[in-house]
Amino acid sequence: MILNARSSYSRLLLMVVLITVIVSGSSRAIVHAAVNVPDNIRVAFFINLGANKYQSLTSVATLQSTDGMNLIWRDPQFSLPAGNVAAGNSVRFAVDGYRALVLETADLNAAIAVLKKIQASSSAAFVTRLTKSGKPVYQVTEGTYSSAAGAKTALTKWTGSGVATGVQTLISARVAGPWAVETGPYSSAYEAEIAADQLGSAGLDSFVALKPREGALEYVLRVGQEQNESTLPALQEAVAAAGGLNVRIPAAGESYALIRHDMTLNGNANKPVDFYAIPAGSGAVLRADPAGAGGINLLERSKRTYRGSMEVSVLNQSLAVVNEVDYEQYLYSVVGTEIGAKWPLEAQKAQAVAARSYALSSGMGYNIAHVVDTTLSQAYFGIASENAMAIEGVNQTAGEVLTSQGKVINAVFSANAGGITADNATEIWEGDDSFLTAGAESPDDGPQKGLLDWYYVALSSGQAGYIRSDLLADSGQKHISGAKYLKATAEGIAVRSKPQVVASVEPIARIGSGTLVVELDKVPENTDYSWIEGPVTPEVLLASINKRAKPQITGPLRTLEVTKTGPSGRATEVKANGVTVDVGVSDNLRGALNGLKSTLFTIEETGRYSILNGQGDQVDSSGQIGSLKIIGGDGTASSVTDPNLYVMDGKGNLRAGTTAPAFNFLGKGYGHGLGMSQWGARGLAEQGYDYQYILKYYYKNVLIEKDA
């Protein structure tokens, strides 16, 4: 068919319009703007920011890589090669501080035996090999203390406990400190080791050390492990008399890294491991770069392996370990750790953008690091937590962040909002985060899908507990209260304290096939979406509350109730014994109430109920503990002594109570509930929504911008 020019033009125009509509309807609303996502991010594993800030402490850090590592010296002026660690070998780091020197012996097996005794109650026990009189000796030390007094207290403890009893020691137990004299420089590590052995022949503790000078690293010896500088002049003379080269007393604050040879219990104890001791206050940093693609294992962080470099330094007298890693590769692990490997790709992408935004908005929030590896920032568990879906979600959103008014937002998220997101201004941290969608319905019930309900039942013994619904059947009989009798359908059925199987918690009872129990309630299984905690005793709750409450609540704890809630139903005020529990912002109630999953909860006081007495007056049982009496059919009144009590409520339902106070918490959700709910993101993705919709559902008035 032949079309005239005008007809062809009209059809062409119509086709262009249709294509434009189709393309515009499916295109990503990504703005390319001047957002700068750095190449790398710094993640702190161990860092000390002060007692009232953040502390994650370790006395030693042990690194290993299947491909080996290259060590780099870094300080404010230089970045210099500092040596290599062979494939599969370990290297250890600590602060060059004060230690309790418990033993020096020529018997390695004896030293290892003492080490094991100390390790039973300390993670900072070491066996260090030196050479004296041409033979190896082994010093057993404990601790990396910031003061001589701290080391002295520890020394008294170890000597008093007799950990070295029966072992012949070459020196008296004493405090070993970081003060020393210096000899050198030497042309190589080998030459320095020979010089250390020579001085060891004079009975001197000599260690090779790295030291920067005029843009290069030198090998020197640090001789002595003195408590203070007062003994250094005499030590200087002794070292010079023993043939030391250019012996000097270094000024306090000079930068160095002492290299010890420590014996370990991992593998072959006869094989020494290089141990770098870094002084406080010098600004020195030792960085380990992986020699291949295998990553670096950090033994003290659950033996996890991480991409990128590890930097070790001293901050506030404590060892600091920071992972510097490619930003996107960091997110591979974060997304893989935070959500499931089988979750939809759009949920993975939403998590990637939220996590990237959250990390970028943090700035250098931890002094020498942007973030930490725990959920205080976001969970980061290394290479083992990566998976194909997480990597795909990160790669497909590379460089994308959420912004509001030109700034990257603090895109907080939680595991499960319990069906509705929180309002920060009134319910959580009392902040005005205008980009967080408050009160949004969230499809969070994913954890509940496919799980059976549980029956809450009363046993003939008077105990109450939970039994999974597939293990009980309706007996066809009724209790005198009108409640159903349920019949056990198998032998050895566990009756549990919560509607959930927890392998580490023993059942409160077991019942046999055909046993009758009384149905009290039917509830969902405990999950991140719906949960029951309790009954919790007053003693446990009061102790937990008073760790955080100011002022503390005067015990004993008789009543506990939610007295105010916010727009989403989350608790914003709780009173104990009629007194407001003041723990600061509302989200702190989770920790104060013995570690609840969220603040979206109600409290059931099992020992509190109202009773009509003989005169028809209503009596509150909370103030009458121990005085409850029941009149029997013969008119005789008897005290209730059994801890379990079953009553009919105003609606005729049989309820389980207790004669003494106890508390159940019935809740929804896991986490603070602000911003994106991870389970909600999964639910929306399963409904067919893309990651942009998901993000803009939980974060309002935001743009998705891409790294320029």
**Per-position DSSP letters for 152-179, written without gaps between them:** HHHHHHHHHHTTTTT---SS--EEE-SE
Please, which residues bridge with residue 296 across strands? Answer: 306
Torsion of CA 628, 632, 638, 644, to 10 degrees: -50
Asked if residue 69 belongs to a domain, the reply is no
Q: pLDDT value at position 9?
A: 39
Parallel, antiparallel or unpaired: strands 61-64 and 90-95: antiparallel
Asked if residue 179 belongs to a domain, the reply is no
Buried b (16+ CB within 10 A) or exposed e, 353-374: bbbbbbbbbbeeebbebbbbbe
Give the chain's residues under pLDDT 50.
1-27, 623-626
Q: What angle do CA 571, 576, 578 make, to 5 degrees?
A: 105
Coil, strand or helix at 151: helix
Structurally, how many domains does the chain consist of? 2
Parallel, antiparallel or unpaired: strands 30-35 and 703-707: parallel
Asked if residue 486 belongs to a domain, the reply is yes
CA distance 105 to 90: 24
Phi then psi for 270, rounded to 5 degrees? Answer: -85, -5
Between the alpha carbon of residue 213 and those of residues 189, 218, 481, the distances in Å are 16, 7, 88
> Would residue 134 be called left, alpha or beta, if left means φ above 0 and alpha means ψ between -120 and 50 degrees?
left
Reported as type and span, the H/E element at residue 352 is: helix 345-361
Coil, strand or helix at 261: strand
Asked if residue 510 belongs to a domain, the reply is yes
Q: Which residues contact 604 (CB under 8 A, 6 or more apart)?
A: 534, 663, 664, 665, 666
Between the alpha carbon of residue 258 and those of residues 133, 218, 445, the distances in Å are 22, 12, 56
- DSSP-derived secondary structure letter, 416: B
Torsion of CA 176, 179, 184, 186, to 10 degrees: 50
Asked if residue 515 belongs to a domain, the reply is yes
Q: Which of residues 495, 523, 551 is at a domain's end? A: 523
Tokens of 566: 């916010």
Buried b (16+ CB within 10 A) or exposed e, 631-654: eeeeeeeeeeeeebbbeeeeeeeb
Calculate helix-pair angle for 345-361, 678-686, nearest 10 degrees. 150
Q: Which of residues 523, 548, 569 is at a domain's end? A: 523
Coil, strand or helix at 621: helix
Give yes or no for a cis peptide into 535 (omega within 30° of 0): yes
Residue given tokens 């909600």 in the structure block: 680
CA distance 75 to 278: 12
Tokens of 401: 């962040």
Question: pTM (2 decimals)?
Answer: 0.86
Beta-carbon neighbour count of residue 451 at 10 Å? 16
Asked if residue 650 belongs to a domain, the reply is yes
Q: What angle do CA 200, 208, 63 make, to 5 degrees?
A: 125
C-alpha closest to that of 561 among 623, 616, 618, 604: 604
Asked if residue 682 belongs to a domain, the reply is no
Q: pLDDT value at position 481?
A: 86
Asked if residue 446 belongs to a domain, the reply is no
Reported as type and span, the H/E element at residue 611 is: strand 610-612
Coil, strand or helix at 193: helix
Owning domain of residue 654: 607-660
